[in-house]
Amino acid sequence: MDFGIRGRRALVCGASRGLGRGCAEALAAEGVDVTIVARTREALEAAAAEIRAAGGGKVIAVACDITTEDGRARALAACPEPDILITNAAGPPLGDFRDWRRADWIAAIDANMLTPIELIRQTVDAMQARGFGRIVNITSSAVKAPIDVLGLSNGARSGLTGFVAGLARKTVAHNVTINNLLPGQFDTDRLNGTFAAIAAASGQDAATLRAARQDQVPARRFGTAAEFGAVCAFLCSVHAGYLTGQNVLLDGGAYPGTF
């Protein structure tokens, strides 16, 4: 299937590795020119070189912290009028809500709610004026089924989800869709870091914990960044213009509900 987005411009945040990288690779493979963002220049440049080597759209790398105003300004200066926006940043730390103070909540809300909203604010009107736009926010399965130790993530990402639900119904008349992709467990540094933190706190062995978790997923494995990227690229395709305001769960069947 031709996704019909060859030559479009995409801004992909948090893309030197993991899920954001999977999205950047899938979009570039569809012929989209991608501007990839991550904080560490060396890792980002290496990722850009590998995506370029795979062929497809052009790749620009912008090393910055997307959760800061300056970072967003630099990313948007490199990609001023994206047709496709993939929002993504590191998730908040694990913990117990009794230990979190206002500053911890503000940091989580800033990174995982206000940063995507700011990026949308600065790009959505131009997308509407051009009559094409695809916005995908990488959130978490925790929005649908909260994870107790990830209270900061449950809370901050739910705020973004509620906001997007309203806006997505407004922009779709201009062929601008906004959807959220909800990862369950994907084999990335973030997931392995989470296991290491849980293992350290509980005295368990991280590898044993990882194997046990994998066994609980109906697919009996974790997802891959490439699988995540492929779904993202479809949501950004011309074929997905009637799909907006949705929370698309990718979790190998882990969520047990019918809907």
What letter represents residue 1's amino acid? M
Nearer to ligand NAD among residue 40 and residue 169 (C-beta): 40
Give φ, ψ of 144 to 5 degrees: -90, -40
CB of 20 or CB of 82, closer to ligand NAD = 20
Buried/exposed 174-187: b ≥16 CB within 10 Å, e otherwise? bbbbbbbbbbbbbe
Q: Which lies closer to ligand NAD via its Cβ, residue 81 or residue 189?
A: 189
Query: Considering beta carbons, is residue 155 or 183 the nearer one to ligand NAD?
Result: 183
Least Cβ distance, residue 194 to ligand NAD (angstroms) = 8
47, 36 contact by CB (below 8 A): yes
Nearer to ligand NAD, 56 or 183 (CB): 183
Q: How far is the CB of 46 from ligand NAD (least distance, A)?
A: 11
Compute the least distance from the CB of residue 29 to ligand NAD, in Å: 18
C-alpha span between 127 and 147 (Å, rounded): 35
CB of 5 to ligand NAD, least distance (A): 22
Residues that bind ligand NAD (CB under 6 A): 13-20, 37-40, 65-67, 88-91, 138, 140-141, 183, 185-186, 188-191
Local structure of residue 222 (DSSP, 8 states):
-
Report the Cα–Cα distance between both ends of the chain, in Å, rounded: 27
Q: Minimum distance between the CB of residue 1 and ligand NAD, rounded to whole angstroms?
A: 26
Provide the CA 176 distance to its chain's centre, in angstroms: 18
